[in-house]
């Protein structure tokens, strides 16, 4: 069997293959509520044949949204809206569904990418005052965030817990905590953003403390069979920032607390980052985390070709690969990968007749007559 199409277990969740769909912000919610766009977006990706679909970064508090049009799961209204979408998706697909939960910290109150992605000042329509570990703006000229005090940190932690509980209540099967891409938990980890002089700043161990507290609280709040894992930025790509050695230590600490996997990305905390882009450029970081901790790892970053993905899994660099922009461009990527690698993939029976003659055994369970 193709290594890419072998099953994978995350805690109590069985994935049919090693292809995961990474969280991708849609900037299409209304006051945090999922709508018809999310139904269309998630619905067609749910027919892709991937082993796991992870919903976009979903805010745990209103002020934790990246933009005013971000998805949220922090109220009965936002829960009901997302529940409606997921019920429709589940009615047509058995793909495992997880969610990434997030607080944007100082990168909140931003415009959608097609509106420039710049910060909305707190006194401008649609904007609000942002929060961070330290009163340091993300970019020069941006509004200075408020440094979180103990009460604020408790509110954030409790927001993550409440969001995770709501996710479980509407049937989501896995929880990914977002500690990457320069958002709040990453801001606590990185010395570029965290200049605190209390027990949550200074040393790497202190900077890890709050993200670990959040993970512990979420893990304790939901049933044990539902996996909880973390997305991390393995390096800030800035001298003196968070790096792979810190990431390995953090992953070990997460593993000790029951973390089901590490989803390894990079960057996002500083506009000074210098990233050497290229095919699979982040995979070596996932490989190192896996080699040094033994944790299940998910690799991402310009993984575009089936043979490339197959080699990542076959060589033991990661346990799964994640697709983002690539699967938006080609929503049937897993079908095409299965065809190239001699594997089988799940597809809706309404589409069984689409398989090319040379791949007549591509779709699992496909059998039909024709009048």
Q: What is the mean pLDDT of residues 315-332?
A: 97
Q: Enumerate the β-bridge partners of residue 101.
A: 58, 177
What residues contact residue 123 under an 8 Å CB cut-off, 6+ apart?
A: none
Q: Are 66 and 115 in contact (CB under 8 A)?
A: no
Spatial contact of 343 and 2, defined as CB atoms under 8 Å apart: yes
Q: How far apart are CA 57 and CA 70, in angstroms?
A: 8
CA dist 365 and 95 (Å) reads: 16
Listed by start position, the domains of the chain span: 3-359
Asked about 359 being catalytic, the answer comes back as no
pLDDT exceeding 70 applies to what percent of the chain? 98
> pTM (2 decimals)?
0.96
pLDDT band at 367 (very low <50, low <70, confident <90, very high): low
Decide if pLDDT at 217 tops 80.
yes
Report helix, strand or coil for 42. helix
- By percentage, how much of the chain surpasses pLDDT 90? 96
Report how far residue 211's alpha carbon sits from residue 196's, in angstroms, rounded to the nearest whole number: 15
Alpha-carbon Rg for the chain, nearest whole angstrom, is 20
**Are 64 and 102 in contact, with CB atoms under 8 Å apart?**
yes
Q: pLDDT of 44-55, one tens digit each?
A: 999 999 999 999
The stretch 40-68 carries a mean pLDDT of: 98
E strand or H helix at 334: helix 333-341
Pair 74, 162: CB distance under 8 Å = yes
Q: What architecture (CATH level 2) is domain 3-359?
A: Alpha-Beta Barrel (3.20)
**CA separation, residue 35 to residues 61, 71, 83, 94, 342 (Å):** 18, 9, 10, 21, 38
Q: Computed from CA positions of residues 248, 308, 237, 267, in that sequence, does the dihedral angle turn out positive or negative?
A: negative
Q: Which of 27, 74, 183, 200 is catalytic?
A: 183
pLDDT in tens, 103-147: 999 999 999 999 999 999 999 999 999 999 999 999 999 999 999
Where does the pLDDT of residue 361 fall: very low under 50, low under 70, confident under 90, or very high at 90 and above?
confident
Mean pLDDT, to the nearest integer, of 353-366? 86
CA distance 32 to 67: 10
In angstroms, the CA 95 to CA 196 distance is 43
Q: What are the angstrom distances between the C-alpha of 241 and each of 182, 190, 194, 238, 300? A: 12, 6, 10, 5, 21
53 in Cβ contact with 95 (< 8 Å) = yes
Q: How far is CA 359 from CA 139, 172, 331, 341, in A?
A: 51, 33, 18, 11
Instruction: In the chain, count H helices and then E strands.
Output: 10, 12
CA angle (276 as vertex; 274, 280 as ends), nearest 5? 135
């Amino acid at each position: 069997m193709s290594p890419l199409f072998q099953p994978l277990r995350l805690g109590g969740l069985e994935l049919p293959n090693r292809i995961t769909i990474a969280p991708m912000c849609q900037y299409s919610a209304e006051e945090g509520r999922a709508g018809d766009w999310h139904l269309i977006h998630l619905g067609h990706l749910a027919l892709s044949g991937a082993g796991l679909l992870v919903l976009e970064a979903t805010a745990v508090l209103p002020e934790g949204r990246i933009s005013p049009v971000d998805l949220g799961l922090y109220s009965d209204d936002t829960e009901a809206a997302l529940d409606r979408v997921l019920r429709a998706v589940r009615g047509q697909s058995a793909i495992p569904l997880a969610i990434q939960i997030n607080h944007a910290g100082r990168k909140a109150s931003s415009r959608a990418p097609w509106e420039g992605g710049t910060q909305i000042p707190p006194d401008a329509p649609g904007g609000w005052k942002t929060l961070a570990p330290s009163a340091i703006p993300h970019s020069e000229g941006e509004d200075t965030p408020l440094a979180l005090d103990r009460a604020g940190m408790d509110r954030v932690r409790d927001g993550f817990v409440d969001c995770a509980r709501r996710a479980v209540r509407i049937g989501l099967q896995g929880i990914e905590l977002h500690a990457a891409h320069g958002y709040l938990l990453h801001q606590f980890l990185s010395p570029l953003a965290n200049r605190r002089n209390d027990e949550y700043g200074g040393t790497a161990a202190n900077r890890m403390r709050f993200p670990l507290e959040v993970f512990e609280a979420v893990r304790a709040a939901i049933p044990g069979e539902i996996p909880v894992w973390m997305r991390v930025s393995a390096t800030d790509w800035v001298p003196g920032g968070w790096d792979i050695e810190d990431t390995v230590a953090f992953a070990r600490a997460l593993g000790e607390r029951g973390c089901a996997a590490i989803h390894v990305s990079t960057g996002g905390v500083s506009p000074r980052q210098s990233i050497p882009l290229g095919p699979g450029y982040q995979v070596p970081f996932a490989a190192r985390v896996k080699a040094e901790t033994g944790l299940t790892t998910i690799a991402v970053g310009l993984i575009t070709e089936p043979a490339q993905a197959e080699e990542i899994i076959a060589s033991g660099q990661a346990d799964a690969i994640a697709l983002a922009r690539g699967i938006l461009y080609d929503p049937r990527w897993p079908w095409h990968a299965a065809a190239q690698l001699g594997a089988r993939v799940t597809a809706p029976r309404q589409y069984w007749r689409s398989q090319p003659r040379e791949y007549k055994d591509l779709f699992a369970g496909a059998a039909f007559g024709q009048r």
